[in-house]
Structure 1
Amino acid sequence: MPGSGAVLLVDDEALVRSSTADMLTELGYSVIEAESGEEALRLLDQQSPIDFLVTDHLMPRMTGTQLIAEDRRKRPGLSVLIISGYSEAEGIDPLLSRLTKPFRQAELGQCMAAIAASSALHG
Structure 2
Amino acid sequence: MIEPSLTILTVDDDVLINIGTAATLEDLGHRALEVSSGDEALALLAGDGPIDLLLTDFAMPGLNGLELAERARALRPDLPILLVTGYGELPGGAETDLPRIGKPMRSQDLAEQIALLVGARA
- Mark yes or no: TM-score above 0.5: yes
Distance of aligned partners of 1:49 and 1:99 in 2 relative to their CA distance in 1, 3 Å threshold: same
For residue 50 of structure 2, what is the aligned residue in structure 1? 49
The percent identity for this pair of structures is 38
Number of equivalenced pairs: 117
1:81 aligns to what SS in structure 2? Answer: strand
- Cα distance in 1 for partners of 2:87, 2:68 equals 18
CA-CA distance at 1:103 after TM superposition? 1.2
Conserved? CA contact 2:83–2:99, under 8 Å:
yes
TM-score (normalizing by structure 2): 0.91
- Cα distance in 1 for partners of 2:80, 2:48 equals 15
- Cα distance in 2 for partners of 1:11, 1:60 equals 10
Aligned counterpart for 1:101 among listed residues 84, 99, 103: 103
2:90 aligns to what SS in structure 1? Answer: coil
CA-CA distance at 1:47 after TM superposition? 4.8
Moved over 3 A (4+): none
- Cα distance in 1 for partners of 2:109, 2:48 equals 27
Query: Residues 1-123 of structure 1 correspond to what in structure 2 (within 5 A)?
Result: 4-90=5-91, 91-93=94-96, 95-120=97-122
- Cα distance in 1 for partners of 2:42, 2:105 equals 25
Conserved? CA contact 2:8–2:54, under 8 Å:
yes
1:32 aligns to what SS in structure 2? Answer: strand
For structure 2, the 5+ residue unaligned runs are none
- Cα distance in 2 for partners of 1:46, 1:12 equals 21
CA-CA distance at 1:46 after TM superposition? 2.5
TM-score (normalizing by structure 1): 0.90
- Cα distance in 1 for partners of 2:43, 2:105 equals 28
CA-CA distance at 1:87 after TM superposition? 2.2
- Cα distance in 2 for partners of 1:61, 1:47 equals 24
1:73 aligns to what SS in structure 2? Answer: helix
- Cα distance in 2 for partners of 1:87, 1:118 equals 25
For structure 1, the 5+ residue unaligned runs are none
